[in-house]
Amino acid sequence: MSHSKMSVTVPEEIFREIKEISAARKTKLSHLVTEALSEKIKKIKEQSIISRINEVFDDPEVDAAQQSMAEDIANNMDIQELPW
């Protein structure tokens, strides 16, 4: 994997905290920052997927189709009630 350098400006408090954490973990600051950015990117991508799924299911036509399919399945199943 190739690497690129970048310059970022962060509040002094965050900079102090991340330096303390990297020292406590005995890891490079760049590794800790990379790890944090990777986790944030993953969360952003997951939220994007969830938003797209929610948009699909907010569609009244999709909702009606889902309801109809569930009713068809329920009506065509021979389920006996369990005695508990």
pLDDT digits (tens, 9 = 90+) for 43-82: 999 999 999 888 887 888 888 888 888 888 878 777 666 5
Task: Quote the number of domains for the chain.
Answer: 1
What torsion do the CA atoms of 41, 42, 48, 49 make, to the nearest 10 degrees? 160
In a domain, 62, yes or no: yes
Do residues 56 and 62 touch, judged by C-beta distance below 8 A?
yes
In a domain, 6, yes or no: no
In a domain, 44, yes or no: yes
Q: What is d(CA 9, CA 82) in angstroms, rounded to the nearest whole number?
A: 63
Instruction: Please name the residue that has the structure tokens 């009244």.
Output: 60
In a domain, 7, yes or no: no
pTM: 0.62
In a domain, 59, yes or no: yes
In a domain, 45, yes or no: yes
SS3 content of the chain, % helix, strand, coil (to 5): 70, 0, 30
